Amino acid sequence: MRVTCKFCKGKARISSTDKVSVEFTRLYCQCLDAKCGHTFVMDLGFSHTLNPPSNIVDQLLVDRVRQMPVEIQRELFGFTSGISNII
């Protein structure tokens, strides 16, 4: 991750971090240009998932189906109302 100074547009370094939560970290930064010397705080946070990990997709699907009413499950899997054994 490249951090740049807002004022001189030069490179900056992360001097320390404060992990506020699993998805949010506060970054304490220093400009590397001695003439500028700007120190600042940036926030780094998780936004959203683009592609979920493959090892949890199946479980997410099973959990979602289990939350559906039985009638909807039967429709989804093509079972008629006369069949009582649902997989």
pLDDT one-digit tens code per residue, 39-68:
999 999 999 999 888 778 888 888 999 999
The amino acid present at 70, given as its one-letter code, is V
Q: And the tokens for 85? A: 């054994």
Question: What span, in angstroms and rounded, lies between the C-alpha atoms of 2 and 42?
Answer: 12
Over residues 77-83, mean pLDDT: 69
Q: What is this structure's pTM? A: 0.63
pLDDT at 45: 98
Helical segments of the chain, H only: 54-67, 70-76
Residue 85 has pLDDT above 60, yes or no: no
Q: What is the 3-state secondary structure (H, E, C) of 25-44?
A: EEEEEEECCCCCCCEEEEEE
Q: Which residue has the higher pLDDT, 41 or 76?
A: 41
